[in-house]
Amino acid sequence: MWNTIDNLDYEGAIYRPPSEARSIILQVTVGCSHNKCTFCTSFKDKRFRIKDQAAVVSDLKKAARLYPKNKRLFIADGDALIMPMSYWQWLMPAIREHLPWVERIGVYATGRAIRKKSADDLQWLREYRLGIIYMGVESGDPETLAYVNKESTAEQLIEAGQKVKAAGINLSVTVLLGIAPTGRSLAHSQRTGELLTAMNPDYVGVLSVIMCEGSELEKLVNQGRHHMLTSVEILMELREMLIYTELSKGLFMANHASNYLPLKVEMPQGKIQAINMLDAAINGQVHLRPESLRAL
């Protein structure tokens, strides 16, 4: 989701999690260091780099004037956590200096970015108010992860997620329906549920894939090599994924605009009711979001 605020020095479209809608958006990196996922075109027009400190300080000073009451800040772009600790050790004190009222900082991260940080690094970041990490997992199925060209294996993603939790930082994980290769839909949904169980994140965000113009996925579809799932097939993946997901607490959310059936499940107590609703939707007893209203 991209942010349209133009007061700070933003380069290109700025994407942030829906839950960061009221946050200060501070662009510190440009683009995504991986930028090879087959379904994504968000950063294809950007070459990854870290902004120089002078530009970031200028934005911090602007933010101090413009947002004196905003208590949350989100650091963009795609996986800003990949920045070396030397830069973080300059950035976080600078944020505290210019925006001392900010209580929580959030950031996108790949599994690789998290694994490159030591436990002490993450603890230091938490002490400087890094309160939530958003990690794009997409799948727990090895074949699906390879198919969409993710930079981590399922085991590496679980390791990264557990590392964030151990540091006392909230973990929000995104998974994606409809990306599995032909014949892997069931395995994708089941293995993803098992991955989420092993990781035990605080929040799960489930999105449904929408074919983006110019993506590698679009090429596969046009070549007849990828089957875009129907709404019922998407719901069946979601149902199977939820069945295989056991969380000690937290939210399992499929209420993104890309989804056919908005769900917000408080785990574990709301799981059975959500599965029953999915059953009703699969049987045509629940109204679904029209295709024209679905969007990334």
CATH code (residue 266):
3.80.30.20
pTM comes to 0.93
| Per-residue pLDDT reduced to its tens digit, 152-164 | 999 999 999 999 9
Assigned domain for 260 exists: yes
Confidence band of 296 (pLDDT split at 50, 70, 90) = low
Assigned domain for 187 exists: yes
Q: What is the pLDDT of the chain when averaged over all its residues?
A: 94
Assigned domain for 293 exists: no
Assigned domain for 128 exists: yes
Which residue range forms the structural domain that includes residue 107? 2-286
Assigned domain for 59 exists: yes
Assigned domain for 296 exists: no
Q: Whole-angstrom Cα distance, residue 56 to residue 78?
A: 17
| Per-residue pLDDT reduced to its tens digit, 35-79 | 888 888 888 888 899 999 999 999 999 999 999 999 999 999 989
Confidence band of 1 (pLDDT split at 50, 70, 90) = very low
Q: Say how many domains are in the chain.
A: 1
| Residue 248 one-letter amino acid | S
Query: DSSP characters for 10-52?
Result: --S-EE--GGGTTSEEEE-EES-SS---TT--TTTT---EEPP
Assigned domain for 294 exists: no
Spatial contact of 129 and 92, defined as CB atoms under 8 Å apart:
yes
Assigned domain for 292 exists: no
Answer yes or no: is pLDDT of 109 > 90. Answer: yes
| Per-residue pLDDT reduced to its tens digit, 265-291 | 999 999 999 999 999 999 999 999 998
| Per-residue pLDDT reduced to its tens digit, 6-24 | 479 899 889 899 999 999 9
